[in-house]
């Protein structure tokens, strides 16, 4: 009985988060809920736009001056750590859980995703479990990142491959504050 009550509570919080709170057009209300009801760590001056989808409570750290645009899927079951001044475009999918396709019982796995400072991720990119995106790297729109990306490397394609390099002296500070989003 206790397990059933805990399950209803957990699933209810996630339903409320993803179907109601994520659609409230007030950044302050959403961030308050994410911090104090989900236990997410969100740095100062960071933004999470409407319709972000979380798969779990906790296991999520967002650094200062970072932005997550609308309609992003954030599978934080295996832990997502995002640095400072990171720009995540709309409809990005970050996964931390998968299944071992070589396992006879289709074993589930959790592997963290780490995104270091000054990373840019383009629209509809997908970051797979266990990946680290090094400082200052950039992921092109629509790319599927299956392996870790070295610092300042630009990747594109399916699967993502290096196509160039970014400057190593990045110093910008992101700020996407709007009243309604």
Helices (H) and strands (E) in the chain, counts: 2, 19
Tell me how far apart the terminal alpha carbons of the chain are, to the nearest angstrom: 40
Three-class DSSP labels, 117-176: CCCEECCCCEECCCCEECCCCEECCCCEECCCECCCEEEECCCCEEEEECCCCCCCCCCC
Task: Spot the catalytic one: 19, 99, 109, 147.
Answer: 99
CA pair distance 60, 54, nearest whole angstrom: 9
What DSSP character marks residue 179? Answer: S
> Would residue 99 show up in a list of annotated catalytic residues for this protein?
yes
Calculate the dihedral angle through the C-alpha atoms of 91, 108, 147, 135, rounding to the nearest 10 degrees: 70
Please identify every residue annotated as catalytic.
Answer: 99
């Amino acid at each position: 009985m206790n397990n059933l009550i805990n399950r209803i509570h957990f699933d209810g919080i996630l339903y409320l988060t993803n179907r109601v709170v994520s659609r409230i057009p007030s950044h302050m209300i959403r961030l308050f809920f994410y911090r104090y009801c989900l236990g997410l760590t969100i740095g100062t001056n960071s933004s999470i736009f409407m319709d972000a989808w979380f798969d779990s409570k906790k296991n999520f750290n967002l650094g200062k001056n970072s932005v997550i645009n609308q309609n992003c899927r954030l599978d934080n079951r295996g832990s997502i750590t995002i640095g400072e001044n990171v720009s995540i475009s709309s409809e990005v999918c970050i996964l931390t859980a998968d299944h071992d396709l070589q396992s006879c019982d289709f074993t589930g796995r959790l592997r963290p995703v780490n995104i270091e400072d000054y990373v840019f991720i383009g629209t509809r990119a997908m970051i797979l479990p266990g990946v680290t995106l090094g400082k200052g790297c950039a992921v092109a729109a629509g790319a599927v990142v299956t392996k870790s990306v070295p610092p300042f490397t630009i990747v594109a394609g399916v699967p993502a491959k290096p196509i160039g390099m970014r400057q190593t002296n990045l110093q910008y500070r992101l700020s996407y504050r709007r009243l309604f989003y």
